[in-house]
Amino acid sequence: MRKKAKRDLTIEQQLARGPLDLPYLALVLLLTAIGLIMLLSASYASAYYNLDDSVNTGGNPYYYFMGQLKFAIAGVVIMYLVSKFDYQRWRLLSVPAIAGSIFLLLLIFTPLGRTSNGARRWLDIGFSFQPSELAKVAVILFFAARLSKRKDQIKAPPKKWNRRTLRGRMGEFMENIGLLELVPYALILLIILLLLAMQPHMSGMILVLSGAAAVLFASGIRLYWFVGGGSVVAAALIYVITQTSYMNARIESWLNPLSDLKGDGYQLWQSQIAIGSGGLLGLGLGNSRQKYMFLPEEHNDFVFAIVCEELGLIGACLIIVLFALLIIRGYWLALHARDRFGSLLIVGINTQLAAQVIFNIGVVTGALPTTGISLPFFSYGGTALVVQLAEVGIILAVSRQIVAPKAE
């Protein structure tokens, strides 16, 4: 009876029930477990002394760890459920997802929004979460769903323009250079980036751009658009840095932390002390000194500094290797995906994850200016962890359909 029921399934249903990619799953679970251990070690001092005015830990040293553990368990369950979901159905959900994420971003500026540390990024609807985390995934879903049909659109006969009119000549020119094709993607990006800039949420803007650019590049959008777009972004950054005193001070404190130890340079200097104190083998798990009211955000954006201090250069390098293996395996799955849509989904999610790891480690070590980007699977934040594990679930759902099941 069981074999007969299996024969009755369609090919798509059988493919969706294929095996998970175990190497990718094992790397994710291993990084999540190590992240929880390091979060416990990094956070118990600040939780015990209740250093964050916006959070009442009640002097419980396990406050942050227990909260993160609950979200990790929920995230793993969601990851498994998402991996069982046929990823082809995300095509139909991509438009509602992008519309819903824009709506949630708009709700931040209503009484439901909550401000913390000068930024309005959270929605409070009985529980707090950052809509930007959902927007990052929605952009990738929307871009991948539309661009996966791009080959079919190219085969369609080109639109005939009236060359006798200026409008017709301009329309034909813009179509030939690929500008008309990019208009819907540019509009979506501009709306979301504008809403993130109003919060302000610079790190969210960087991650949204990285995922969107990766999907556009993998879909075959002409290279000169990336050169032009990169030039515009670089020019905008130079303008902001040179024309605003705040950014000038931020860059100065990054290049020379000792010049502002009572301000922006303090956190980076304490992070470098933590990294240097770890040496080759580290001080030992739980033996960090900088987490005792010296290094701010030690369990959040700067948790990797505690990793370096307690596990040393060798331990930190091993964690970087695990992240590198995870990212490489993700691109391998993208190359072997069943179809173009699955490939673009993985490329977008995987590139966004890679950018998050690179930017966080770069900031903590002083290679990059402070951006506020957290370390995936390590930094404290329930919404971020659940969304990251859900994204992993999407990648695992694609991996189920890489190899078709053997015929009975």
- In whole angstroms, give the CA distance from residue 271 to residue 277: 10
Question: What is residue 81's predicted lDDT score, i.e. its pLDDT?
Answer: 94
DSSP string covering 69-116:
HHHHHHHHHHHHHHHHS-GGGHHHHHHHHHHHHHHHHHHTTSTTEEEE
Determine the residue type at 33: A
What integer pLDDT is reported at residue 156 of this predicted model? 47
Helix (H, G, I), strand (E, B) or coil at 120: strand
Q: Does the pLDDT of residue 154 top 50, yes or no?
A: no
User: In sequence order, what DSSP letters do the residues of 161-209 get, joined into one string?
Assistant: P-TTSHHHHHHHHHHHTTHHHHHHHHHHHHHHHHHHHTTT-HHHHHHHH
- Side-chain-side CA neighbours of 83 within 13 Å: the count stands at 20
pLDDT band for position 386 (cuts 50, 70, 90): very high
DSSP per position, 229-257: HHHHHHHHHHHHHHH-HHHHHHHHHHH-G
Is 175 a residue whose pLDDT tops 90?
A: no
Give the whole-angstrom CA distance, residue 135 versus residue 219. Answer: 20
CB neighbours of residue 198 within 10 Å: 13
In order of 308, 358, 374, the CA distances from 274 in angstroms are 7, 19, 18
Sign of the four-CA dihedral 133, 305, 330, 355: positive
What is the pTM (predicted TM-score) of this model?
A: 0.86
30 and 322 Cβ atoms separated by less than 8 Å: yes
For 67-91, the pLDDT digits (tens) are 999 999 999 999 999 999 889 888 8
Q: What mean pLDDT value characterizes the chain?
A: 84
Give the helix/strand (H/E) hosting 26: helix 22-49
Determine the Cα–Cα distance for residues 143 and 150; give it in Å rounded to an integer: 11
Predicted local confidence at residue 354, as pLDDT: 96
* Domain extents in the chain: 15-400
